[in-house]
Amino acid sequence: MKKHINKLVLLAVIVILPAMSFGQYCNYFHTKYCLPSENEMFKLNGQSKSALFSLGQTSELSIIVYKKQDYRISVCMDENLGSQVKFKIYEMKKVKVEKVIETKTMEDEMESCGTCSGSGQADGEDCYDCEGAGERSTGNEKEVISKETKTVVEKQKQLLYDNSEDGFSNEIEFTVESTRRLVLEISVPGGGGGGASTKKKGKLMKSSDMGCVGILVEHMTTPISGFYGTGF
């Protein structure tokens, strides 16, 4: 039994150590393998990041881009992950949405008062003829659902860029006119859509199914063009 446990521990170490070493290797992958801009005005942005990916995995990185800045975003990855990466940029926006809000309450279940022939009022368990509805409580409760339409504010992702519509380009440059929060979505093809899982069809994932992906973010102050600042 002890030998069996030792084998399991050894197997776990064999599986975990490559992943840990991969993770450490990935830390600065973007600074080594993502090609920076040839324009020296672009500077490395601290929101750049690298991570360990598996085949078929999709992951997101949230960044903030500021107004009056130009940005360049490029993606690079290990060769064993393939040569083509899916790269999308979304903007997080607050949108007003109409929603139907359901409210559930418990109310007494009522029944017609038979001795009053459906008319009159209930006094405890007795019913007598008088004006009003002839009902009395059954002693049970029932669920009552009321619906109300309300306008609420939700955060939604709006697609701004999809590199599958741009020849699967690994880089993009743009100017920011107002400060925005963006979400960068990276998808590595292959792996049968296994996502972030570390298992695939009941078998341990091989190191050949894993690799580094880097996102290099660069920025510079938007150059002023034209005869700005001249006058009399």
Amino acid 117: pLDDT: 53
Based on the domain organization, do 81 and 183 belong to the same domain?
yes
Tell whether 93 is covered by a domain.
no
User: Considering the domain boundaries, does residue 11 fall inside one?
Assistant: yes
Q: Is residue 18 located within the same domain as residue 63?
A: yes
How many Å separate Cα 100 from the centre of its chain? 24
- Residues 39 and 71 occupy one common structural domain: yes
* pLDDT over 60 (residue 221): yes
Instruction: Residue count of the chain, please give it.
Output: 232
Phi–psi pair at 28, nearest 5 degrees: -120, 30
Same structural domain for residues 124 and 181? no
3 state SS of 35? coil
Q: Would you state the structure tokens that stand for residue 185, as one six-digit string? A: 């979505």
Shared-domain flag, residues 42 and 136: no
Rounded to the nearest integer, the mean pLDDT of the chain is 78
Q: Give the tokens for residue 123.
A: 């006094």
- The pLDDT value recorded for residue 146 is 85
pLDDT number for residue 58: 95
Q: Is residue 230 part of a domain?
A: no
The predicted structure's pLDDT at residue 225: 73
**Do 16 and 131 reside in the same domain of the chain?**
no
Do 37 and 144 share a domain, yes or no? no
Burial class (CB in 10 A: 0-12, 13-18, 19+), 29: buried
Residues 130-144 have pLDDT tens digits of: 444 566 666 788 888
Pick 49 or 102 by higher pLDDT: 49
Question: Where does the pLDDT of residue 208 fall: very low under 50, low under 70, confident under 90, or very high at 90 and above?
Answer: confident
pTM: 0.63
Would 141 be classed as within a structural domain?
yes
Burial class (CB in 10 A: 0-12, 13-18, 19+), 113: buried
Domain count for the chain, please give it: 2
Of 228, 219, 196, nearest in space to 209 by CA:
196
pLDDT in tens, 23-68: 577 989 999 999 999 999 999 999 999 999 999 999 999 999 999 9
Note whether residue 196 is domain-resident.
Answer: yes
Whether 61 is covered by a domain: the verdict is yes
pLDDT of residue 135: 66
Query: Which domain does 25 fall in, by range?
Result: 2-85+170-221
Pick from 142, 176, 190: which is nearest to 66 by CA? 176
For residue 192, is it within any domain? yes
Residues 7 and 80 in one domain: yes
β-partners of residue 221 are 69
In angstroms, the CA 35 to CA 92 distance is: 28
Q: Kindly state whether residues 121 and 12 are assigned to the same domain.
A: no
Under the banding of pLDDT at 50, 70 and 90, the label for residue 73 is very high
**Residue 162 counted as domain residue:** no
